[in-house]
Amino acid sequence: MPRAGDGPGERSLRLAPRNSPFYTPPVTTPHPLPLPERALEIYRRLIACSGKPSPNRQHADPLAELVQTILSQNTSDLNSERAFASLMARFESFERVAAAPVEAIADAIRLGGLARVKAPRIKQVLEHIQAERGCIDLEFLRAMDTAAARDFLTSLPGVGPKTAACVLLFALGKPAIPVDTHVHRVSQRLGLIGPRVPAEQAEALLEQLVPPETYYAFHMSLIRHGRQLCKAPRPRCDRCPLDDLCPKVGLRTECSGLRTER
């Protein structure tokens, strides 16, 4: 199993695509700070530079969080919020959603995109909870420890580690770090996880690096950093407060700046 910082805790000075005729093995020097201390310093610096994120929204209903997270896949926050509002306006309860035809659910969530994929998934999840628990409710998860609650959530059809972590963190206030595309990319560039660690394995590795009480702010800060500076196509390393802490894994340096490895 890959370990946190497996490989990228080193400063990569020159990286070209491995299949390029110009590929040169990276020249590396160890970063002076050990990985957990560097992770904590990254967290402190993000908070110092951009402030603490707004408080955890703490949905009253973990089932609402689950459905909303399914709706948020591959769309903007605004669209998924509109789709969720439309779903609730049309059916008024999750029991009615579960009993509705897939086509009617798809029609209600069309604003959020991928309605033909998300509608059957939502219906299957609700039906599965009904079959397992005898009612459509996830409040029982509050009394469980994090591992047991995560196991139940990931046993639901189509619910992966990121969706489960969102429910744990945002609705139940349990320690988890959801790894979305921003958290994954930024963590790899910073060398907090190895360059080939998939998002599904990244959560457990990141959770080893910082204290549980920081998970929410750490998650939110990495997302904000990924949206504002450490962008996918062209990171703004010239303006980044983490520059001296970052091995820039997957990027190659040039006189004019940095480019993503292709």
244 scored as a contact of ligand SF4 (CB under 6 A)? no
Nearer to ligand SF4, 121 or 185 (CB): 185
Binding segment toward ligand SF4, per CB under 6 A, in 106-114, 133-141, 193-201, 246-254 = 246-254
Radius of gyration from C-alpha coordinates of the chain? 20
Q: Is 103 in the site for ligand SF4 (CB under 6 A)?
A: no
125 binds ligand SF4 (CB under 6 A): no
Q: What is the DSSP letter of 50?
A: H
Q: Is 242 in the site for ligand SF4 (CB under 6 A)?
A: yes
State the binding string over 208-227 for ligand SF4 (x if CB under 6 A, else -). --------------------
Count, residues near ligand SF4 per rule CB under 6 A? 14
Q: In DSSP terms, which residues pair with 10 in a beta bridge?
A: 30
Quick count: other Cβ atoms within 10 Å of Cβ 241?
15
230 lies in the site for ligand SF4, by CB under 6 A: yes
Based on the shown chain and the rule CB under 6 A, indicate whether residue 119 belongs to the binding site for ligand SF4.
no
Residue 62 or 194: which CB sits closer to ligand SF4?
A: 194
Q: How far is the CB of 193 from ligand SF4 (least distance, A)?
A: 13
User: What six digits make up the tokens of 67?
Assistant: 């459905």
Find the shortest distance in angstroms from Cβ 86 to ligand SF4: 37
Dihedral angle over CA of 232, 235, 240, 245, nearest 10: 80
Segment 187 to 206, residues that bind ligand SF4, using CB under 6 A: 189-190
Query: Which of 139, 160, 236, 257: binder of ligand SF4 (CB under 6 A)?
Result: 236
Q: Is 149 helix (H, G, I), strand (E, B) or coil?
A: helix
Q: Which residue has the tokens 């605004």?
A: 78
Compute the distance between CA of residue 206 and CA of residue 19 in angstroms, rounded to an integer. Answer: 30
Cβ-based neighbour number of residue 185 at 10 Å: 20
Nearest distance in Å: CB 164, ligand SF4: 27
What is the amino acid identity at position 57? Answer: R
**For residue 60, how many other CB atoms are within 10 A of its CB?**
8
Active site residues: 162
* H/E run at residue 103: helix 102-108
Residue 142 or residue 196: which is nearer to ligand SF4 going by CB?
A: 196
The Cβ-side half-sphere exposure at 192, using a 13 Å CA radius, reads: 31
> Which stretches of the chain bind ligand SF4, using CB under 6 A?
186, 189-190, 229-230, 235-237, 240, 242-243, 246, 248, 251
